[in-house]
Amino acid sequence: MPSFLLKTEPSEFSFQDLVKKKRATWDGVTNAAALIHLRSIAKGDTIYIYHTGDEKAVVGVARALGGAFEDPKRPGKTPEGKPKFAVVDVAPVGPVATPVTLAAIKGDPRFAELGLVKQSRLSVMPVPGAMEKVLREMAGLGG
DNA sequence: GCCAACGTTGGC
DNA sequence: GCCAACGTTGGC
Radius of gyration of chain A (CA): 14
Question: pLDDT (tens digit, 9 = 90+) per residue, A43-80?
Answer: 999 999 999 999 999 999 999 999 999 999 888 888 78
Residue A119 Cβ under 7 A from any strand B atom? no
Show Cβ contacts of residue A87 under 8 Å, excluding neighbours closer than 6 positions: A25, A26, A27, A29, A38, A68, A69, A70, A71
Residue nearest to nucleotide C7 (CA to C1'): A31
**Closest nucleotide to the alpha carbon of A50, via C1':** B10
| Start-to-end C-alpha separation, chain A | 13
Q: How far is CA A100 from CA A9, A16, A88, in A?
A: 16, 16, 24
pTM for the structure as a whole:
0.95
Q: What Å value separates CA A79 and C1' B10?
A: 30
Q: What Å value separates CA A1 and C1' B8?
A: 33
Q: Do the beta carbons of residue A43 and residue A64 sit within 8 Å?
A: yes
**Closest nucleotide to the alpha carbon of A118, via C1':** C5
**What fold, for A3-138?**
ph1033 like fold (3.10.590)
Residue nearest to nucleotide B11 (CA to C1'): A120
Residue A7 Cβ under 7 A from any strand B atom? yes
Compute φ and ψ for A107, nearest 5 degrees.
-80, -5
What are the residue ranges spanned by the domains of chain A?
3-138
Q: What Å value separates CA A31 and C1' B5?
A: 20
Q: What Å value separates CA A43 and C1' B3?
A: 42
Question: pLDDT (tens digit, 9 = 90+) per residue, A100-126?
Answer: 999 999 999 999 999 999 999 999 999
What is the reported pLDDT for A142?
A: 77
